[in-house]
Amino acid sequence: MDFIGQKAVVERFMEQYKSGMTSHAYVLSGPPGIGKKTLAREMARTLLCGEEPARAPCGRCRGCKSFAAGSNPGFFEIVPKTRNILIEQIRELIDHIMVRPAQGRKVYLIQEADRMTTQAQNCLLKTLEEPPPYAVIIMSANSFESLLITIRSRVVHLRLGRYSDEEMRQILKRHGKSSADMDAAIAFSEGNPARALAIMGNPEFLKTRELVFAHMLGENGPDPADCELNLHLSGNKDALPDCLDILESAYRDVMMILCGKSGNLINSDKRDKLMEYARRSSMQRVIAVIREVNAIRSHLKRYMNHQLAVDLVTLVPHD
């Protein structure tokens, strides 16, 4: 299977598939952007491959080629039509699933299954209780616990976790991203590919991050970096929320260093500078700054004046 990362999840599925013990239903859960849809489609491609399990997916057979072209008759996908997946959509799936294929399997992907209405989930339940032997239902969900217990008890749950830095690097390269600025995107993405891709596609975020760290890590007293950050945020209203997130993550990292837990920093590419900052800071001061940042964020939601918030972030001493 051509999928980067999630080794334990992929191995579990492939072991079941190769041994002929494929489940009738799977739920892939994890935060938005973690790769649930990509992995679900790769699982479907594997199940619909005409080659023997040890070679699937081959990419060359009729099943693989038609899947790549979006025309495989054995693949059926459901996405939310409105805010929810409605019972009518599940009834359509059930009508389709009852028709036996001429050969091979039928695979159904329900995206964002935790957005199924209660009625839709109950409608799906009977099919999960008495599944046809030729069908596999794959669901993705941000929150597995949001599904009804009767659904959860009848599926194999595969939980996707954060990716390693090296896996993130491979994913970004696969999407055509260069190594320039890759470290910053990986560091701030917290192992989430979609977030890393969004960061790399947003030069303003990377500029904001560098200015925030110049502001935070500068020497005590008046610092030109403070003025530069102030000017940047004053003229770019959308950058202020990013600035607050970056500041909070940086001070969180300092707090982790002060607790002796420096192995899992969000801003790992700034480790040395954060270690130096931690040596001249204190837990009490770091907690106070995090509270200041959260207070500014809270006031912004109550329509605090933008320039006042910028001045509080950049001109009030934080050290």
Evaluate if residue 190 carries a pLDDT over 90: no
Task: Write down the pLDDT at residue 318.
Answer: 55
* DSSP structural state of residue 25: E
Mean pLDDT of 43-63: 94
How far from chain centre, in Å, is Cα 102?
A: 37
Task: Write down the pLDDT at residue 70.
Answer: 94
Report CA-CA distances (Å) from 189 to 141, 202, 216: 20, 13, 20
Evaluate if residue 317 carries a pLDDT over 60: no
Mean pLDDT of 286-306: 88
Q: How confident is the model at residue 56 (pLDDT cuts 50, 70, 90)?
A: very high
Averaged pLDDT of the chain: 90
Mean pLDDT of 260-280: 87
Q: Model-level pTM?
A: 0.78
Contact, 75 vs 67, CB < 8 A?
yes
How far from chain centre, in Å, is Cα 146?
A: 18
% pLDDT > 70, the chain: 96
* DSSP structural state of residue 146: G
Instruction: Please give the torsion angle defined by the CA atoms of residues 86, 83, 70 and 53, in that order, rounded to the nearest 10 degrees.
Output: -70
Choose the weakest-confidence range: 8-17, 26-35, 281-290, 302-311: 302-311
Mean pLDDT of 284-304: 89
Report CA-CA distances (Å) from 307 to 173, 221, 290, 302, 310: 39, 22, 20, 14, 5
The vertex-284 CA angle with 279 and 285, nearest 5°, equals 65
> pLDDT for 77-125, tens place per residue?
999 988 999 999 999 999 999 999 988 899 999 999 999 999 999 999 9
Per-residue buried b or exposed e for 299-315, using 16+ beta carbons within 10 Å of the residue's own CB: ebeeeeeeeebbeebbe
Q: How confident is the model at residue 277 (pLDDT cuts 50, 70, 90)?
A: very high
Task: Write down the pLDDT at residue 226.
Answer: 66
Task: Write down the pLDDT at residue 219.
Answer: 44
| Dihedral pair phi/psi, residue 92, rounded to 5° | -65, -40
Q: How confident is the model at residue 5 (pLDDT cuts 50, 70, 90)?
A: very high
The Cβ of residue 279 has, within 10 Å, a number of other Cβ atoms equal to 9
Mean pLDDT of 183-201: 87
Q: How confident is the model at residue 266 (pLDDT cuts 50, 70, 90)?
A: confident
% pLDDT > 90, the chain: 68
Evaluate if residue 220 carries a pLDDT over 50: no
Report CA-CA distances (Å) from 201 to 162, 187, 195, 233: 20, 15, 10, 19
> pLDDT for 130-176, tens place per residue?
999 999 999 999 999 999 999 999 999 999 999 999 999 999 999 99
Evaluate if residue 206 carries a pLDDT over 60: yes
> pLDDT for 24-51, tens place per residue?
999 999 999 999 999 999 999 999 999 9
